[in-house]
Structure formats: structure tokens, C-alpha cells
Amino acid sequence: MYNQQLPMDSNKSLPSPSMAGGNGVLGKSVERHSNDRIRFLLKSFGLRTSLIRLKVIDALITAAENDRSLGVRGVHSHLLELDIPLSFLSVREVLKRLCSEGVITLNPDKSYSLHQEAIALLHSKA
């Protein structure tokens, strides 16, 4: 059986995109680059990377770029539109955790946004 992780004798092994340096590797898709930035952000705050955290933060970044604000329902709806079947409670818990760790902030209108420190980290990684 073929194992993609093991290099073949006749082929030189190339580093995977996740192992590449953070200097903007050519050929990376925008989403992949965004995920690398979000992974860096989570690691900087001492958090593990998970799919739900990646998608929730990506939804908040997208909303901020479009001058929109999202609450729990807005983030949940956004994820459902992307065919990411997560429960409302899961999204709410992730938002609470990210908020308690200082990655995002809960605004007075009950919407969430990235904390200023998180925004600075994302821009430094770009």
C-alpha cells in the first residue's frame, strides 16, 4: 500500500506547505495562507489549533474585512453556509473560550471581534 508520508526512492521529498517558512510561499492559496496566520495566532495565545477555532476566527476576519459584525448566531450561520455542520452550542463555547483567552472581544452589542493584540499578530505574520 502506498503511503504518501514516506518519500519514494526515486523522488526527492519536498517540504509540505505546513512545513514551509512563513515568508509567503508561492502557490499557496489565500485560504491556506489565512489558516497559517490563524494557526500562528492561536499558538501565540497558547491555544491548540482545531478546525472549529480556525473557522470561527476566519469568519470573524471575513466579517471585519466586510465591515460587518457577527454575534454567535451570525458566526453559526456563516459556518452553516460554508457547509461546516457545527452545533450552535459548539460555536458559542468556542467563542467564549477565545474571548476568555483574549483572542477576541465581546462588544457591547453582543457581537465578537478580534482583540487588538490578535489583529497586530495577524498583520505581523502577513
The domain segmentation of the chain, as residue ranges, is 30-125
Q: What is the average per-residue pLDDT within 53-67?
A: 93
**Structural contact between residues 103 and 114, judged by C-beta atoms closer than 8 angstroms:** yes
**What would the grid cell of residue 78 be?**
456563516
Q: Residue 72: what residue type?
A: V
Domain covering 30-125: architecture: Orthogonal Bundle (1.10)
Give residue-wise pLDDT tens across range 87-108. Answer: 999 999 999 999 999 999 999 9
Average pLDDT, the chain: 80
Q: In whole angstroms, what is the distance from residue 64 CA to residue 86 CA?
A: 22
% residues pLDDT > 90 (the chain): 65
User: Which one, of 73, 24, 79, lies nearest residue 51 by Cα?
Assistant: 79
Give residue-wise pLDDT tens across range 5-31. Answer: 444 444 443 333 333 333 333 333 345
pLDDT score of 70: 95
